[in-house]
Amino acid sequence: MKWVSFLVWCGLLFCVRGSDVPCRQAGGTCQHNSLYCSGSYQRNMCAGSVRRQCCIPRRASSGSSHGSGGYNCYGNFMNLRPTGASAQTASQDGIRHGGVSASQTMVANDINELNKRKSCYIRAGNNNCVHPAVIAGIASRESRGGAFIERTGGWGDNHNAYGIMQCDGGASGLGELCTRYPWDSCEHINMMVEILLVRDIRTIRSKHPSWAPEQQLQGAVSAYNAGTGNVRSFRRMDVGTTGNDYSNDVMARAQYLVNRFGW
């Protein structure tokens, strides 16, 4: 009787595991549908409870002729001419001057940390049609790619922001969603790009329709730090951001990741 019960139990276990196959074949992940999904949930593709559904990530569209590969939906950020970091920001690394070269030095100092999770930046880029170098540029600026927050379990800004991309639950309106994924996970990086950066891109597009797509992208990067209401003009968009240089520093870092490190 025990042997029969064991066979039945194993058979059921096999069936439960095997029923996740349709989801995996579709490129998805089975999880509880209360969790964040970077695409859409599909039913009847996973084992277990009806609340356990298949999260299938959204695929990046081919977009316009700007940019490269699957990251071209928001213009070619390589066409931008960022002014780089302020002297205040550069002082983090003992650099006595600001400018593009300061941004380049700082991101070069972060390259080992950024390369550890390069696949995460690529994945988030593919999911959201944003160049991985731009995402990594934000990560470099926010947490030095994670190096600044490793000892605090992912917390920065006096325990007000969480993760490599530094999710501030109060300022962003995301609340407890900020801590839904591990601070150094691909899922957390992707969440911040999809929910915050892409949202800000759309807002800046509507607010400044005459700007070139890459200028709108830079505006969204500035808004990532200080909010879309702070982005009033292209030349002065960083006034009011941390160091008064946020997007110009991030974009200079991102361009160097492409030009120097092949991102």
With pLDDT > 70 as the criterion, what percentage of the chain qualifies? 85
Beta bridge partners, 39, equal: 57
Taking the CB of residue 12, how many other CB atoms lie within 10 A of it?
11
pLDDT digits over 137-187, tens only? 999 999 999 999 999 999 988 888 999 999 998 888 888 999 999 999 999
Task: Annotate the chain with DSSP letters as a single string.
Answer: -HHHHHHHHHHHHHHHHHTTHHHHHTT-EEEETTS--SEEEESSSSSSSTTEEEEEEPPPP---SSSSTT--TT--GGG-----B-HHHHGGGT-S--BHHHHHHHHHHHHHHHHHTHHHHHHHHHHHT--HHHHHHHHHHHHGGGTTTGGGTTEETTTTEETTTTB-HHHHS-GGGGGSS-TTSHHHHHHHIIIIIHHHHHHHHHH-TTS-HHHHHHHHHHHHHH-GGG---STTTTTTSGGG-HHHHHHHHHHHHHHTT--
pLDDT at residue 82 in the model: 99
pTM of the model as a whole: 0.76
Contact 15, 41 (CB under 8 A): no
| Structure tokens belonging to residue 58 | 């959204």
The set of catalytic residues is 142, 157
Beta bridge partners, 54, equal: 30, 42
| Structure tokens belonging to residue 124 | 């988030």
Lowest mean pLDDT segment, chosen from 37-41, 78-82, 156-160: 37-41
pLDDT digits over 246-255, tens only? 999 999 999 9
